[in-house]
Amino acid sequence: MAFLPREDPLSEEALEAEFAVAPYGSARARRFFAELPNLKRLKVVQTLTAGVDWILPKLPAGVVLCDAAGVHDAPVAEWIVGAILAAYKRFPEFRDAQREGRWAYRWVEDLEGARLLFLGYGSIARATEARLAPFGVSFLRVARTAREGVHTLAELPELLPQADIVVNLLPLTPATERLLGHEHFARMKPGALFVNAGRGKTVDQEALVEAVRLGRIRFYTDVADPEPLPEGHPLWSLPEVFLTPHIAGSTPKLFERGFQLVREQVGRYVRGEPLLNVVQEGY
Residues with a known catalytic role: 199, 227, 246
* 166 touches 193 (CB < 8 A): yes
Write out the DSSP string of 41-53.
T--EEE-SSS--T
Tell me the residue ranges of DSSP E strands in 19-175: 19-21, 44-46, 64-66, 115-119, 138-143, 151-152, 165-168
C-alpha triplet 124, 273, 43: angle, nearest 5°: 85
Which residues touch 178 (CB under 8 Å, ≥6 apart)?
A: 201, 202, 203, 204
User: Three-state SS across 162-205?
Assistant: HCCEEEECCCCCCCCCCCECHHHHHHCCCCEEEEECCCHHHECH
Closest CA to 35 of 5, 63, 56, 61: 5
* 188 touches 163 (CB < 8 A): yes
CA distance 214 to 191: 10
Helices first, then strands: H and E counts in the chain: 9, 10
Helices 73-88 + 123-132 axis angle, to 10: 50
